[in-house]
Structure 1
């Protein structure tokens, strides 16, 4: 009998994880071995349980999904991580793949896409949702927004930047990312310095130009 593919689900919403678990259980060669609700837990549980595939959300409390991907990959270069996120903007996709993710699909994708992606990555392949892959291939075309502007931001700075650009206050950013107000304010100051902007409006404009905000 073939050994089942052991999956770790990483999402901070228990109801969402329950839905993933039901979906993955439909394939008799997949099993959800462990669940985590934060980036820190994901790193800890990866070491303890050694799952075959990690299904990782990006919007997590604590260190966040991007940083968790980097930490897991630093411990195990062979880690197979699939990002399953509400974000379908190319800057997120690029950052996740650069961090070491082996695949990226959006939560708006059809259920069978998740199963297909997990199986492909478990086999050692790379899987990017077809529509996202098409957009990635065309992002260097004339007139397409580029994500290089954010290359100097750390994973957590990128998370903070996106929330500020969406109109969140510093207090709301702190609450959303489970950090202190002063920490969030320090991140905001560092981000403005790295990006050469001075106002939230300028952040929003930069985010829009890079496809991080919808028109």
Structure 2
């Protein structure tokens, strides 16, 4: 008897990237049906319809974003298996994704076989975090100052965290609004909420926290 193949839901807002994922996964003998969508809202809808074995998802997307999508999927189905496939290799992103309910984390800079290996592993109930970013996670967990800031950033909602990261990198509210497909006033309100929650006054203060967390470099 043939083993059951793994059904996959791909979630990424770039069509070319999704096409590349499809080609990569189609080449694997253990992969079955592949469905792809371009944002989190559609991912929640398609998951309810298809109940795929694994959701392979980016974090930086318009709409509700990747972290909130993970939370909603886990609320829909506590057994949902999510593998994050992101450009971000900073430890705070990995921590946030795992806290939200992701089973694994792989960066887009990894070799093709790493993604395939990760999909297979998480489909079997295993946790998979790319080897190259594991040392960064250890660095994040142990220093007391970084751990303190990490606990503080946990106060932020998934969308506030997205705005925080982009603002800390020096993007203006208009640029953040365009990147996340949000209104300028919405982003301005998020920035106010973020500063209040983190007890800081300026964008420079946000950047300092982001440096400690490893989100941006000195």
Shorter-chain TM range is over 0.9
Matched residue of 1:145: which SS? helix
RMSD between superposed Cα atoms in Å = 1.3
Per-residue CA distance 1:26-81 (angstroms, 9 max, x = gap): 11220342101011111111111111000010001100000000000001000000
Q: Which residue of 2 aligns with 1:194?
A: 197
**TM-score normalized by structure 2?**
0.95
How far has the Cα of 1:132 moved from its partner? Answer: 1.9
| Structure 1 or 2: more helix by fraction | 2
State the distance in 2 between where 1:101 and 1:142 align.
24
State the distance in 2 between where 1:135 and 1:70 align.
24
Per-residue CA distance 1:2-41 (angstroms, 9 max, x = gap): 2210001100000001111101111122034210101111
State the distance in 2 between where 1:25 and 1:48 align.
21
Aligned length: 215
Residue 36 of structure 1 pairs with residue 37 of structure 2: yes
Aligned counterparts, 1:77-116, within 5 A: 77-116=78-117
Q: Which residue of 2 aligns with 1:213?
A: 216
State the distance in 1 between where 2:33 and 2:200 align.
44
Q: Which residue of 2 aligns with 1:19?
A: 20
**TM-score normalized by structure 1?**
0.96
CA 139–193 in structure 1, closer or farther in 2 if over 3 Å, else same: same
> Is there any run of 5+ residues in structure 1 with no aligned partner, and where?
none
Question: Which structure 1 residue ranges, 4+ long, deviate > 6 Å from structure 2?
Answer: none
> Is there any run of 5+ residues in structure 2 with no aligned partner, and where?
none
2:173 aligned to which of 156, 170, 173: 170
